């Protein structure tokens, strides 16, 4: 038996600001109440993606990597899986929050920091994303009193926008936005303000001192917010490239399939982000049906992978 492309089952995460748009993902459970996140590729204790296809169907991603220890390539040599990929449905606005960098997280939390990038799948007219402090606003102001209008830098996203969220950047996703998030494998979020919401009968915890320790007052020029049509400087398919991950965007049509290559020394993760997708992935003799939200772990050395049919999808690698 050799490594093969593994279709992953979404892990549904009920959250107070969530909605109903993720409940229709193929293979997913349909919990009662609002679903804020679907973890579509995860290898974290207590939240490990299950395999839906092939000889290891029913096993989880951790067990897959035990059977095929070279499938992740060099990026898992330290035993830590490097990526976590989510779909996020913000029916209501998320908390105003910040994530720590690797140094702070290792010292204080004993896990990696959190760098992430968002691909906007859908955004209702007038919806808002917070990316940093407005000019003239201090870290002290937002961590010692309730945030007020005018304290934050706001953008009005449209589908296809790419927003890079480095550690230390204050941010929030507004109501009416659906995104795909590619991030370091970390669940560290320091909430600064949560709009008085309750979850489980009590207000959610705030982390004001830790947030104050981590906030970086980035300038406008430091924040990457762009439309995909501009592409990358050397490769128009590159959405984001940093020291934690690189994310590519591809489109397949009925007439023209999309072909990309998985490198010999690292895995790739495929995520379908078009809501009307109807396609199939072909790799190493395996054929996998793809619809919106499909997530496929592609083992290192898979070589050329073909997607035929109708789909817009992201490919993430380390």
Q: Which of 21, 191, 266, 308 is catalytic?
A: 191
Residue 130 CB-half CA count within 13 A:
24
The DSSP element (H or E) to which 26 belongs, if any, is none
Among 9, 2, 36, 44, which residue's Cα sits nearest to residue 20? 36
Contact present, 297 and 64 (Cβ < 8 Å): yes
At residue 98, φ and ψ (nearest 5 deg) are: -150, 155
d(CA 67, CA 143): 47
Question: What residues contact 28, with CB distance under 8 A and at least 6 apart?
Answer: 9, 10, 12, 22, 38, 293
d(CA 142, CA 138): 7
Contact present, 296 and 29 (Cβ < 8 Å): no
d(CA 15, CA 227): 29
Active site residue 191: yes
Contact present, 169 and 118 (Cβ < 8 Å): no
Which residues are the active-site residues? 191
């Amino acid at each position: 038996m050799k490594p093969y492309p593994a279709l992953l089952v979404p892990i549904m995460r009920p959250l107070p600001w969530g909605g109903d748009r993720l409940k229709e993902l193929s293979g997913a459970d349909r919990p009662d109440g609002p679903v804020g996140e679907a973890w579509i590729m995860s290898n974290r204790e207590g939240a490990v993606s299950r395999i839906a296809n092939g000889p290891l169907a029913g096993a989880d991603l951790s067990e897959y990597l035990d059977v095929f220890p070279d499938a992740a390539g060099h990026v898992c040599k330290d035993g830590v899986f490097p990526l976590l990929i989510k779909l996020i449905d913000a029916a209501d606005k998320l908390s105003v929050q910040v994530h720590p960098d690797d140094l702070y997280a290792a010292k204080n939390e004993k896990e990696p920091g959190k760098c992430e990038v968002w691909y906007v799948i859908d955004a209702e007219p007038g919806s808002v994303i917070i990316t940093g402090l407005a000019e003239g606003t201090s870290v002290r102001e937002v961590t010692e009193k309730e945030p007020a209008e005018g304290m934050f830098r706001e953008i009005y996203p449209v589908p296809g926008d790419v927003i890079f969220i480095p550690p230390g950047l204050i941010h929030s996703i507004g109501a009416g936005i659906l995104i795909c998030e590619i991030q370091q494998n970390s669940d560290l979020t320091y909430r600064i303000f949560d709009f008085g919401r309750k979850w489980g009968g009590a207000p959610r915890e705030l982390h004001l001192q830790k947030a104050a320790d981590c906030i970086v007052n980035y300038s406008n020029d430091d924040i990457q917010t762009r439309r995909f049509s501009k592409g990358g400087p050397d490769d128009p398919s590159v959405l984001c490239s940093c020291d934690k991950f690189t994310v590519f965007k591809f489109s397949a049509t009925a007439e023209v399939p999309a072909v990309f290559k998985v490198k010999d020394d690292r895995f790739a993760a495929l995520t379908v982000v078009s809501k009307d997708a109807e396609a199939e992935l072909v790799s190493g003799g395996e054929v996998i049906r793809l619809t919106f939200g499909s997530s496929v772990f592609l083992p290192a050395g898979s070589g050329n992978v073909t997607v035929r049919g109708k789909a817009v999808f992201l490919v993430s690698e380390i």
